[in-house]
Amino acid sequence: MRYAAVDIGSNAVRLLFCDVDVYQNHKEVKKISLIRLPIRLGQDVFTKKKISTKNISSLVKAMETFKNLSAIYEVVNSRVCATSAFREAKNGKEVIEKIKKKTGVAIEIIDGDTEAKLILETHISDKLNPKGTFLYIDVGGGSTELSVFSEGKQIQSKSFKIGTIRLKNDLVTDSTWKEMVVWIIKTIKKHQPELAIGTGGNINKLYKMCGLKDYNLFEYNQLEQMNNFLMQHTIEERILKLGLKPDRADVITHAAKIYLTILETAKIDKMFIPKLGLADGIIYKLSEKMNGKV
């Protein structure tokens, strides 16, 4: 069966289309198309508290495109989720109503805990020790989601207003950093995770830039060295010389700072990078519902 998901984040909008085949207890997910649209809602919301007229227009066009592609791909079920930027936008509900009226597409605003749980729906821990304990880290434009899960079950989670767009605009306070650090120290002491799991577009790009693949672990020193390398280049150089997209080039070092801070605080020196995210989690959840498992 064919499913579709939309992740409306703070830095970009992702449209994902997948085929899901189930053989007894085995599920095979094959990506048909992943489209990343550079609609930066966080720049509006985190500085002006509202989604701009320009970005509302872009969102309408994006959802019209999603609706048409879903029809062409003959999608059996879909879900559209919005995260941090929409959660904080004063006109968020108004924008959702406008988009629903113009396109027929319903957008669901989800909280940080739901966001983390959906990403964990991808069963990323299945590729690791099934009885292990892991610290899951997802860094977005508006927030960072941290979760600890053991033996495949989420046991503790927290969402922090620390994201790449917020850092770019100098909107993360010292008290927010301290709150996250204190939570990590207490949580690590209690659960002692053996490894971190990192998700998000920026960590995927950093991982690739380090020449890693096939689920090789991403070491703290490798991430630190890559971040230092990027910091030696201007944003223009990152675009022209290193081939980064403009809306990646200006936030990637902010993302690296967040991951490095978390790993250093947790005293974890390795990360597993599954290259999956919220849209993937939505697909897995939809397929489970269709197969009567939820």
pLDDT at 292: 57
Give the domains, in start order, of the chain with CATH numbers: 2-112 (3.30.420.40), 128-275 (3.30.420.150)
Strand-pairing partners, residue 136, are 147, 197
- Beta-carbon contacts of residue 278 (< 8 Å; ≥ 6 apart): 5, 7, 9, 14, 81, 83, 115, 118, 119, 138
Backbone angles phi, psi at 267, to 5 degrees: 55, 40
Q: Are strands 270-272 and 195-199 parallel, antiparallel or unpaired?
A: parallel
CB 6 within 8 A of CB 16: yes
Q: Which residues of the chain fall short of a pLDDT of 50? A: 294
How many residues in the chain? 294
pLDDT of residue 126: 66
β-partners of residue 149 are: 134, 154
pLDDT for residue 294? 42
Q: What is the pLDDT of residue 249?
A: 97
Backbone angles phi, psi at 141, to 5 degrees: -75, -30
Alpha carbons 287 and 48: distance in angstroms, whole number: 38
Contact indicator for 73, 5 with CB cutoff of 8 Å? no
Report in angstroms the alpha-carbon separations of 197 from 145, 149, 157, 179, 248: 11, 10, 14, 21, 21
φ and ψ at 253, to 5 degrees? -75, -30
pLDDT value for 291: 65
Torsion of CA 282, 35, 19, 65, to 10 degrees: 90
Q: Which pLDDT score, from 0 to 100, does residue 101 have?
A: 97
